[in-house]
Chains A and B, each alone.
Chain A
Amino acid sequence: MKTEYLLVLAAILVFPLLLSILMPIRMYKHLRALLLSMGIVCAVYWTWDVLVTARGHWSFNPAYVLDARFLGMPVEEWLFFIVITFVAIFTYEAVRLVVERLGGK
C-alpha cells in the first residue's frame, strides 16, 4: 500500500493528539518557542536528510510511499520531522505535568 509510511505517521500522532485534549499542556501557550524549536530542528534534520538521501545512505521503497517528492525525498519523510519534533515536545510536557501533579521535586 502506497500510504503505509503516511499511516505510520498518523498512528504516531493519534495518541498525543487525543491526550492533548484531555491534558492542559502548556506548549500551545508558547507558540513562539514551539515554532522556533521545531523549525530549527526540522531545518537541520531536513538538510542532513536531503544530503544523505542524495548520497545514497538510504532510499524509500516506492511501494509504500506516495509519488510526491521534493528534493529527492517523499513528502512523508518531510512530514516525519514535523511529527516527531511535535511529539517529543508534547511527551516532555505531558511527563512534566504528571510529575508535578504527583508532587515530585
Chain B
Amino acid sequence: MKEYTILAGASAVFAVLLDRYLHTTVLRKREYWIAIGVMFFFKIPSNGYLTWRPVVLYNPEYFLGVRLWSIPVEDFFYGYGFITLTIVLWEYFLRKERTS
C-alpha cells in the first residue's frame, strides 16, 4: 500500500485543520503564503540533492513513484504539512504568551 502517499496527504490536511481548530488563521495571512513560497524555493535544491544523490532511498512499495526532478511528489505534501504545523503552533504559543 502507498502508505507514504496517504500519510503525507493526511499530515497536510491535519495541519490545515489544526489552523482552523486553534483559530490561529495563519492560512489567511499573506506572510504565511510568502514564507511557504520561500521555503519551497529552497526546498527544491536541498530536497532535490538528497533525492538525486541519493542520500535518502525511497521504497517503491510505499510511494507513487511520481517525481518532480528527483523529488517524490509526496515530499511536497509532507513538507507543506510540516512547515504549516510548525507555523500554526508558533502562532498558537505566541498568542498564549500574550494573553497569559
Which A positions have Cβ atoms within 8 angstroms of B?
4-5, 8, 11-12, 15, 30, 32-34, 36-38, 40-41, 44-45, 48, 52, 55-61, 64-65, 84-85, 87-89, 91-92, 95-96, 99, 104-105
| Chain A residues near B61 (CB-CB < 8 A) | 56
**Do the beta carbons of A37 and B92 come within 8 Å of each other?**
yes
With A33-B94, A52-B7, A95-B31 in contact, is A58–B57 under 8 Å at CB? Answer: yes
With A57-B62, A91-B38, A99-B30 in contact, is A85–B86 under 8 Å at CB? Answer: yes
The size class of the interface chain B forms with chain A is: 35 or more
**Do the beta carbons of A36 and B35 come within 8 Å of each other?**
no
| Chain B residues near A4 (CB-CB < 8 A) | 53, 55
Which B positions have Cβ atoms within 8 angstroms of A?
3-4, 7, 11, 30-32, 34-35, 38-39, 42, 46, 49-50, 53-59, 61-63, 82-83, 85-87, 89-90, 92-94, 96-97
With A95-B38, A104-B30 in contact, is A60–B55 under 8 Å at CB? Answer: yes
With A8-B46, A91-B38, A92-B32 in contact, is A84–B82 under 8 Å at CB? Answer: yes
With A57-B4, A58-B57, A58-B59 in contact, is A88–B83 under 8 Å at CB? Answer: yes
Tell me which of A36, A37, A61, A84 contacts B57 (CB under 8 A): A61
| Chain A residues near B85 (CB-CB < 8 A) | 41, 44
The 6 closest A-B pairs by CB, nearest first: A33-B93, A37-B89, A37-B90, A92-B35, A96-B31, A64-B55
| Chain B residues near A58 (CB-CB < 8 A) | 4, 56-59
**Do the beta carbons of A61 and B54 come within 8 Å of each other?**
yes
| Chain A residues near B3 (CB-CB < 8 A) | 52, 55, 57
Tell me which of A33, A56, A84 contacts B83 (CB under 8 A): A84
